[in-house]
Amino acid sequence: METVALPYIPVRRAYETRLYDVDWDNLEMGRYTSDHMLVCDFSDGGWQQLQIVPFGAFSLLPTSLVFHYGQAIFEGMKAFRTENDAIHLFRLDKHYERFAKTAERLCMPVLPADLFREGLRRLVELEQNWVPGQTGGALYIRPFQIATDTKLSVKVSDSYKFAVICSPAGAYFARPVRVKVEREYTRAARGGTGYAKCSGNYGGALYPTAMAKAEGYDQVLWTDGRNHEYIEESGMMNVFFVIGNTLVTPPLSDSILDGVTRDSLLVLAAARGMKIEERPVSVKELEHVLETGGISEAFGAGTAAVVSPIRSIGVDGRDYALPIVGEKGSVAITLKDALDDIRYGRTPDRYGWNYFI
């Protein structure tokens, strides 16, 4: 068997750990960052030395293109500690595929898969004491890449910085949310960057989300950018509906993010014999099933909360309550529990999703 040489990754350790500053009973998302980060620069047409260094500030000139023309991308993933104290990265390859696809859409060089994989493995191995051990806890991992060229003109950058930072996160119990079907503003248009995890998508969503919150809602249900006739996403999450006895979710397109949690839940639903449809859901259909009782539950799906139950949906000024909202035995909680069982090692990983360090 041929031996594959792993890339050399030098490590410069932090002088002191900040582990003892962490309130492990109150792991607010993003409140703490671990001691080290993974960094790599792209310059002179190639990737330079990947390295692990103490967490700290970057030095960037004000003319760096990331500040001006939007070449900034990221990924969100997690590492888990199983019940037998093993640590793994969840669906590492799936996250890399999406990161690479996003980089290509933003005209960025793609970090080779072996560097991405081994870099994250080494970083999490070094930071393993930062992976929470309590039920529901995880180490949130944020790979990102930014343009660093300083020629102040509208162009594809010639240089980039890739980095990965980590943040311990506690159990996230998403309270049921009120959502509003957004009929005016657009998150993403066909032919745009909606399928990519680029920073601009999130910045553009802030204003309509703030307006919805001012009306008493927690989030928006985004509709298509052409005629606002079809549901696409829930906030920054994929969305699922239980219509009749069928689990329904909008099909992937270039305006809908290919969610890793979405994909995982669909696999688990199919394994449980649930009837599944990936198809367009019109606002007209949604309003009809809400009025006639044809829908029993709805929920968002994403990395942070896994599922976010929806308790009511506002359509053109009228609010409709959902009969099932995140209850034990509901589709949302059944699928969440099934996913957690794999991630925490309570059931066998039949899909090869857990990449152990």
Where do the DSSP E strands lie in the chain? 36-43, 46-47, 51-54, 72-74, 77-81, 87-90, 138-147, 160-169, 177-181, 219-223, 231-234, 238-243, 246-249, 275-278, 295-302, 306-315, 318-321, 354-356
- pLDDT value, residue 1: 43
CA 301, chain centre distance (Å): 9
Q: Which two tokens stand for residue 253?
A: 């397109």
- pLDDT value, residue 171: 77
pTM: 0.95
Please check whether residue 166 is in contact with residue 142, taking contact to mean a CB–CB distance below 8 angstroms: yes
Nearest to 218 by CA among 287, 305, 323: 305
Q: Is 42 helix (H, G, I), strand (E, B) or coil?
A: strand
Domains and CATH numbers, the chain: 19-172 (3.30.470.10), 177-343 (3.20.10.10)
- Residues of the chain short of pLDDT 50, as ranges, are 1
> Residues 111, 117, 120, CA angle at the centre, nearest 5°?
100
Q: Which two tokens stand for residue 93?
A: 């390859």
**What would the pLDDT profile of 183-229 be if each residue is shown by its tens digit?**
999 999 999 999 999 999 999 999 999 999 999 999 999 999 999 99
Q: Beta strand 219-223 with 177-181: parallel, antiparallel or unpaired?
A: parallel
- pLDDT value, residue 3: 54
Question: For residue 141, how many other CB atoms are within 10 A of its CB?
Answer: 25
Residue percentage of the chain with pLDDT more than 70: 98
Q: Can you tell me which residue has the tokens 């793994």?
A: 88
**What would the pLDDT profile of 1-32 be if each residue is shown by its tens digit?**
455 677 899 999 999 999 999 999 888 888 99
DSSP secondary structure code for residue 209 in this structure: H
> Residues 315, 326, 284, CA angle at the centre, nearest 5°?
20
CA 44 – CA 107 distance, rounded (Å): 16
**16 φ/ψ angles, rounded to the nearest 5 degrees:** -135, 150
- pLDDT value, residue 4: 60
One-letter amino acid at 249 equals: T
CA dihedral 273, 277, 278, 283 (to 10 degrees): -140
CA 278 – CA 240 distance, rounded (Å): 10
The count of residues in the chain is 357
Q: Which two tokens stand for residue 238?
A: 């994929």
Q: Can you tell me which residue has the tokens 């309003």?
A: 287
CA 76 – CA 222 distance, rounded (Å): 21
